[in-house]
A and B are shown apart, each in its own frame.
Chain A
C-alpha cells in the first residue's frame, strides 16, 4: 500500500461491497481495514427555501466543535406536520436559544408540498421548541425559555389558544435562564425537558395534561445539563451532557419516573437535535462530535477511485 503507515498488514476477508480488506498490526493494536469504492450518492431531489434574509453567519466558536452547540443559529424550534413545517425564529437574531430580551418569536409557516412560505405569524417571546399536537394534524404545541417559561397550544394558523406557565422546580434569581430543550406529546400527556444554562446545572422533565395543559408532575433532577431529547411512547429520552448518559423519563405514571439508561461515550449528543429514537428498531441514535475514532485504530481515508 503506497505511503502506508499501517504497520504490517495481511489480507483478510472483505465485507460485502469491499474490494480489499487488510488486517494490520501497529504498536500492539490490530486494525481491520475495508477498502471500498465510492458509493453512488442516494438519488434525491432537493428543494431549498430561504427563511431568513439575514446573511449567513458562522459562529466564532466553530473551531471548538466539541463544545459547539447546534442550537446556535437563526432557528430555535421547528416541527414537521403532515402538510406543513413551522419554524420559530427571531429574524436577525442569531443566538436564539437564550432569552435575554423578551422579543416576540416569528413563527414561519411553510407549505411542505410546494415549499412556499404561507404566512409569518408573530408569536410569544422566546419560543425554543415546537412539537406536533396529537389532537390535530395541523395544530402544534410550543414552549418558551427564559426566566419564566411557558407552554403554548397553537392552531394550524399559529394562533395561541391555550397557555400555562411552566412550574419551575427550584427558585431562580433575577437574570437566570431556563431553556426548554425538548417537547413531545402522546394522546394523554405532554412532556417538556428543561435545563438550566448556568449554576446550578440541572435538568428536569415535566408532564402536562394534553387536553387542559394542567401540570401533572416533575421528574427528579438530572443534576446535569441536557442538550437533546426525543419523546417516544410515554418516555422522554434526554442526553446528559456531562456524564455521557441517556436518561429515560416515563411520563405515563402518576409521578415522572427517571431511570438511568445507557452509558454513552462522553461528548455524545451535546447538541439539540442530536438525539433520535427509532421506535421500529427500539434503537436510540445519538451523535458524537469527534471526527476520529479514539481507539488505537485511527481512521484513514481508504477509498479507491473508480
Chain B
C-alpha cells in the first residue's frame, strides 16, 4: 500500500472513487457523512496522500458510484435518494 488518509473536516466514510479530470493529481471520492448521512464530493491528493479538504455537498445518502466522462465531468449515482448528480468543474 502506498499510503492512506482520512478526512478531517467531518466524520465521513468513502464509498466510491473516480478520476478528477480537472486535476490529475487528485482523485474524486464520494463520501458519506456519518452524522447527517449526507453525501459529499471530496478530493484526495495523490502526491500528498491526504484529503485536500473543501468537500462539496451532493445529496442525501450514500454515493453508490462515481464516473468521470470524456468531457471532464463527474457523475455521482446516489443510491439512497435515487438521484443522479452531475459535477462540472468551472
Interface residues of B in 33-49 (CB under 8 A from A): 34, 37, 41, 43-44, 46, 48
Q: Which residues does A use to contact B, with CB under 8 Å?
A: 15, 36, 38-54, 56-59, 62, 65, 70-75, 78-82, 85, 87, 89, 110, 112, 115, 262-265, 271-276, 278, 280-281, 283, 285-293, 299, 301-303
B46 to chain A, nearest CB (A): 7
**Is A273 within 8 A of B80, CB to CB?**
no
Distance, CA A15 to CA B52, complexed state (A) = 13
**Is B6 within 8 A of A278, CB to CB?**
no
**Is A78 within 8 A of B65, CB to CB?**
yes
**Is B64 within 8 A of A75, CB to CB?**
yes
Distance, CA A264 to CA B2, complexed state (A) = 10
**Is A273 within 8 A of B69, CB to CB?**
no
**Is A280 within 8 A of B6, CB to CB?**
no
Given A82-B70, A273-B16, A291-B11 in contact, is the A44-B56 Cβ separation under 8 Å? yes
Distance, CA A197 to CA B77, complexed state (A) = 23
Given A44-B87, A278-B19 in contact, is the A74-B6 Cβ separation under 8 Å? no
**Is B58 within 8 A of A265, CB to CB?**
no
23 residue pairs from A and B, CB less than 8 Å apart: A42-B54, A43-B89, A48-B59, A56-B82, A58-B61, A59-B80, A65-B32, A70-B62, A72-B79, A73-B82, A79-B67, A80-B68, A81-B69, A265-B4, A273-B15, A273-B66, A274-B16, A280-B24, A283-B46, A286-B17, A287-B14, A289-B13, A291-B13
Interface of B is mostly: strand
Using CB atoms, name the residue of chain B closest to A41: B54
Distance, CA A299 to CA B8, complexed state (A) = 8
Contacts of B22 in A (CB 8 A): 42
Given A49-B83, A264-B1, A273-B66 in contact, is the A40-B54 Cβ separation under 8 Å? yes
Contacts of A262 in B (CB 8 A): 1
**Is B90 within 8 A of A43, CB to CB?**
yes
**Is B61 within 8 A of A38, CB to CB?**
no
B3 to chain A, nearest CB (A): 10
Given A46-B85, A291-B6 in contact, is the A74-B37 Cβ separation under 8 Å? no
Given A38-B54, A47-B85, A87-B77 in contact, is the A293-B6 Cβ separation under 8 Å? yes
